[in-house]
Structure 1
Amino acid sequence: MFRILTLAFFLCTAISACTSVPLSTMAKLSTFDWQDFNALQAGDIQVKITVPQGFELNIERSWLGFELSSEHNHHSGRFDLQRLSTQASVIDGGLFGSDIAATTYRLQLQPESRPAFTELQAYLRQHKADNVMIRVVPKIKRYPANAEFVSVWIDLQLSSQEGFFTLVDGSQLSLSTLKVQRANATDRANEKTTQDLPSN
């Protein structure tokens, strides 16, 4: 039985334990089979990633991935994204919370990535796959200096007829790994600058 096994998203290499996948999304994807996957058109696939104002998405490094697996086979595809639009938005804070000013990035597969998606579909036609994992990887370019976490909302469109559905609903991601990586990069750059200075 072909089924959606996992819905996953990662920020750099760190993810908090607070991941919210709506039950409606789980129900929708529970009926998704290999014929549905092979009917997808790469040009229709889109992702909307929403982050609070003050955070900026690194579009060039963000990506969408599909992993097909069975007991004996495993195949994956990683697809780079490009911007369709960026717009200011507001996240409903709910009954007890305040609304959140945010930025929504609407992305699609880069043209260079689309042939690879067709190859992934061809693999599925020739090999049995029991599960598919959808992975959306948003990378952050800028964030407030005092921020420890970033909340992320992700919506996915697999076909233009079906439209968008919520993949991740306001999950919190730790920025600790990203901060360490940037601090190390700054230290290396400073060290190189010192080494390049002419000696007296």
Structure 2
Amino acid sequence: MRFIVGGLFVAAALVMGGCASIPISTALQLSSLSPSSLAQTEPSQVRVKLAVPEGYELDVANTRLKLALTGPSGSSTGEMGLSGLGTVRESRSAGVFSSNVPVLTYSLALTPDGIQELKRLQRFMVANKPDKFNFSVKGPLSKAPAGAREVTFWVDLKLSLAEPFMPLIKGAKIKFEGSGASS
């Protein structure tokens, strides 16, 4: 049975208001990453980790990594499909004055179509030299606890297998619209 929670939650990694927390170390790492260096990323090495509290499940088949590029010569946006590499139960920090939250963390990689889409965006980067980029993740839920009104989530990104994950979103809360969760 398919489950919809008032639409999809979207984690805008670089431009997000509300309750999202983008770690300063990640902001510094991303500020040193240029679109030209992003154009040299090996798409098969891109990894995403998305964590949701226990009781929630991610609809992996419909989860996407989005990349928007803008500059004086134009803009381009792409959605890259993600496939599951596995899940692990762990805990994530819910903040300084809160106890850790037990979560289910999904490890994801670009699908073959996602790899082709990133290659298309890389060609755009080389040809048009955009000066800004924005990563975001679209992750629909396939399951949520009865009566759930919000979900807290975490998103980490890795652009190379040789580098550590960058935490993009730390404990962002998304409230469900409409009637709330139902299964």
Same fold (TM over 0.5): yes
For residues 160 and 95 of structure 1, the distance between their equivalents in structure 2, rounded to whole angstroms, comes to 30
For residues 19 and 147 of structure 1, the distance between their equivalents in structure 2, rounded to whole angstroms, comes to 19
For residues 179 and 106 of structure 2, the distance between their equivalents in structure 1, rounded to whole angstroms, comes to 20
Can you give the 5+ residue segments of structure 1 that lack an aligned partner in the other structure? 1-9, 184-200
Q: Is the 8 A contact 1:19 1:171 kept in 2?
A: yes
- Alignment RMSD: 2.3
Can you give the 5+ residue segments of structure 2 that lack an aligned partner in the other structure? 1-7
**SS of the counterpart of 1:176?**
coil
Is residue 102 of structure 2 the alignment partner of residue 101 of structure 1?
Answer: yes
Q: Is the 8 A contact 1:66 1:77 kept in 2?
A: yes
For residues 113 and 98 of structure 1, the distance between their equivalents in structure 2, rounded to whole angstroms, comes to 36
Judging by fraction of residues, say which structure has more helix. 1
Q: How does 1:117-136 map to 2 (within 5 A)?
A: 117-136=118-137
Is residue 31 of structure 2 the alignment partner of residue 33 of structure 1?
Answer: no
For residues 111 and 161 of structure 2, the distance between their equivalents in structure 1, rounded to whole angstroms, comes to 17
> 1:71 offset after TM fit, Å?
3.2
CA deviation digits over 1:39-77, x for unaligned, max 9? Answer: 101110010000100101111111001111113401111
Amino acid at match of 2:119: T
- Which structure has more relative contact order (CA 8 Å, sep 6+)? It is 2
With the length of structure 2 as denominator, give the TM-score of the two structures.
0.85
Q: How does 1:37-186 map to 2 (within 5 A)?
A: 37-93=38-94, 96-177=97-178, 179=180
Q: Is the 8 A contact 1:12 1:177 kept in 2?
A: no
CA deviation digits over 1:107-130, x for unaligned, max 9? Answer: 000012212211111111111211
* Percent of matched pairs sharing the same residue: 27
Of structures 1 and 2, the larger Rg is shown by 1
CA deviation digits over 1:82-125, x for unaligned, max 9? Answer: 00011111123555322211100000000122122111111111
- Relative distance call for 1:93 and 1:131 in structure 2 (3 A) is closer
Q: Is the 8 A contact 1:12 1:178 kept in 2?
A: no
**Corresponding pairs, count:** 172
Runs of 4+ residues over 3 Å off in structure 1:
92-96, 177-180
Q: Is the 8 A contact 2:88 2:106 kept in 1?
A: yes
With the length of structure 1 as denominator, give the TM-score of the two structures.
0.79
